[in-house]
């Protein structure tokens, strides 16, 4: 792992885990902006994000983390807002109109603040272990049941938002920051067995986005740390 | 409750619950910007946020919701970013430097994305009821234990962020959006009995901010829907 930041102050390094939905957001966004980066895998299952060599990079102990020309930043939403401000072109990902920006951020926050943090497998796992008195069957049940419950409930409100504001993409026919929240969240939903057909706007927009090059090259099936099939 | 938005297209209406930490963020931010608003109380304990008359305003069923000159918006972070863009003066709440903005947003996201959604009493309550087989003692335990655990863990990383970037306030000596996340979160922590003295930067900055007029007038002890002592 390259941690000598002094050695390359003009590069972009992304600390990512192939299956982390927040990492996927940033991988896709970097591709959308045409920004090349060095990929540094952090294996969440091996708890590498809590090891001291990574905590030196990102004291939060979270992926994704980005080193942009020597500056460390974390939180996927923060990173995307930064990249959007630093690289508005090509492919602006926020509308110019302030009311429209607000809608894009509201959709983003609905996924990034209300759904993803609560369906995070680490949350369900921690919760299950804390309160199940070591009952392995119950722990396994909670780890599956909780994310499904959170995502299903969150998608009901998300579907309404996309019915109202969506077009080809989450906000009309322009790819915006909100789309980088949607695709990884739908992948999580599918992984947990949530029935996406019940949410036609979510399903339609996700399908359209998956055709975009930036989501193809950043797909979890296709990363340096993706395990061989 | 005023829902006839057509009747006043030039006003600001805030749907708020006195004790909601996300509502407090926006109340304080509006005061910081010198923006007057009409206060519409939504009693979360009475589940008024899930009633149809409010869902017509905000389909998310979340407070705070803001009607800004006839446009409905929700999510406290989104609302603050909008107000900052619409009213950069007086009192800019984001630095001009892109790297500095990123730090402010990272601190904000740490509280708004990693701590608050997970310590939300509704989350603990839902979790406890779902998985405690009706054991009232266990439900009561989880409702208390879970938020303390989440906040304590989140404050360890937050303290590091504020040690590094904080001054009088969360980011140096300028009041920024991050501060509007801090104060309500510390109040939640105190309510759950988290020992703030263990986090000296958090404690110091919170004390400084509580002296500011915008946090005084927006304090939960002092709102139209605050119950009499």
Q: What is the pLDDT of residues B41-70, one digit of tens each?
A: 999 999 999 999 998 888 778 899 999 999
- Secondary structure E strands in chain A: 12-16, 38-41, 65-68, 71-74
pLDDT of residue B8: 52
pLDDT of residue A6: 45
The C-alpha of A177 sits at a distance from chain B's nearest C-alpha, in angstroms, of 13
Contacts of B148 (CB under 8 A, 6+ apart): B192, B193, B194
Beta-carbon separation of B109 and A161 below 8 A: no
Q: Which two tokens stand for residue A195?
A: 């029935």
Q: What is the pLDDT of residues A158-213, one digit of tens each?
A: 999 999 999 999 999 999 999 999 999 999 999 999 999 999 999 999 999 999 99
pLDDT band at B9 (very low <50, low <70, confident <90, very high): low
Contacts of B122 (CB under 8 A, 6+ apart): B44
* CA gap B182, B108 in Å, rounded: 8
What average pLDDT does the segment A53-57 reach?
Answer: 88
Q: What part of A 121-150 touches B (C-beta under 8 Å)? A: 123, 127-128, 130-132, 138, 142, 145-146, 149
Q: For residue B66, give the chain A residue with the closest CA.
A: A102
The residue length of chain A stands at 229
Q: Which chain A residues touch B117 with a CB distance below 8 Å?
A: 113-114, 117-118
* CA gap A110, A151 in Å, rounded: 11
CB B18 within 8 A of CB B226: yes
Q: Which two tokens stand for residue B163?
A: 């040690």
Q: What is the pLDDT of residues B160-182, one digit of tens each?
A: 999 999 999 999 999 999 999 99
Q: Which residue has the higher pLDDT, A117 or B6?
A: A117
The percentage of chain A sitting over the pLDDT mark of 90, rounded to a whole number, equals 83
Contacts of A96 (CB under 8 A, 6+ apart): none
Closest partner CB to A78 (pick from B59, B105, B132)? B105
Q: What is the pLDDT of residues A92-140, one digit of tens each?
A: 999 999 999 999 999 999 999 999 999 988 888 898 999 888 899 999 9
* CA gap A97, B66 in Å, rounded: 18
The DSSP 8-state label assigned to residue B74 in this structure reads E
Q: Which two tokens stand for residue B90?
A: 């007086």
pLDDT band at B10 (very low <50, low <70, confident <90, very high): low
pLDDT of residue B36 exceeding 50, the answer is: yes
Q: Which residue has the higher pLDDT, A23 or A123?
A: A23
Region of A193 on the Ramachandran plot (φ > 0 left; ψ -120 to 50 alpha; else beta): left
What average pLDDT does the segment B19-39 reach?
Answer: 97
Contacts of B44 (CB under 8 A, 6+ apart): B17, B19, B20, B63, B122
DSSP-based three-state secondary structure for A127? helix
Q: Which chain B residues touch A156 with a CB distance below 8 Å?
A: none
* CA gap A32, A214 in Å, rounded: 5
Beta-carbon separation of B81 and A102 below 8 A: yes
pLDDT band at A57 (very low <50, low <70, confident <90, very high): confident
pLDDT of residue A9 exceeding 80, the answer is: no
pLDDT of residue B151 exceeding 60, the answer is: yes
* CA gap A108, A81 in Å, rounded: 11
Distance of CA B164 to the CA centre of its chain: 23
CB B35 within 8 A of CB B28: no
pLDDT of residue B57: 85
Residue A118 forms contact with B (CB below 8 Å) = yes
Q: Which two tokens stand for residue B201?
A: 């930067």
Beta-carbon separation of B112 and A113 below 8 A: yes
């Amino acid at each position: 792992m390259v941690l000598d930041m002094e050695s390359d102050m003009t590069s972009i390094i992304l600390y990512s885990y192939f299956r982390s939905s927040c990492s996927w957001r940033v991988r896709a966004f970097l591709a959308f902006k045409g920004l090349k980066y060095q990929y540094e895998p952090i294996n969440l299952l091996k708890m590498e994000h809590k090891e001291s060599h990574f905590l030196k990079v990102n004291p939060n102990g979270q992926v994704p983390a980005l080193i942009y020309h020597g500056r460390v930043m974390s939180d996927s939403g923060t990173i995307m807002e930064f990249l959007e401000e630093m690289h508005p072109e090509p492919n602006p990902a926020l509308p110019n109109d302030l009311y429209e920006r607000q809608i894009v951020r509201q959709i983003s926050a609905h996924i990034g603040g209300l759904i993803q943090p609560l369906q995070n497998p680490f949350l369900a796992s921690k919760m299950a272990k804390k309160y199940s008195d070591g009952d392995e069957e119950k722990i396994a049940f909670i780890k599956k049941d909780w994310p499904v419950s959170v995502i299903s409930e969150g998608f009901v409100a998300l579907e309404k938002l996309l019915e109202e504001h969506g077009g080809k993409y989450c906000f009309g026919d322009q790819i915006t920051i909100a789309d980088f929240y949607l695709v990884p969240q739908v992948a999580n939903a599918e992984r947990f067995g949530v029935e996406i057909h019940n949410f036609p706007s979510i399903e339609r927009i996700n399908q359209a986005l998956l055709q975009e090059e930036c989501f193809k090259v950043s797909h979890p099936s296709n990363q340096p740390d993706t395990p061989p099939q």
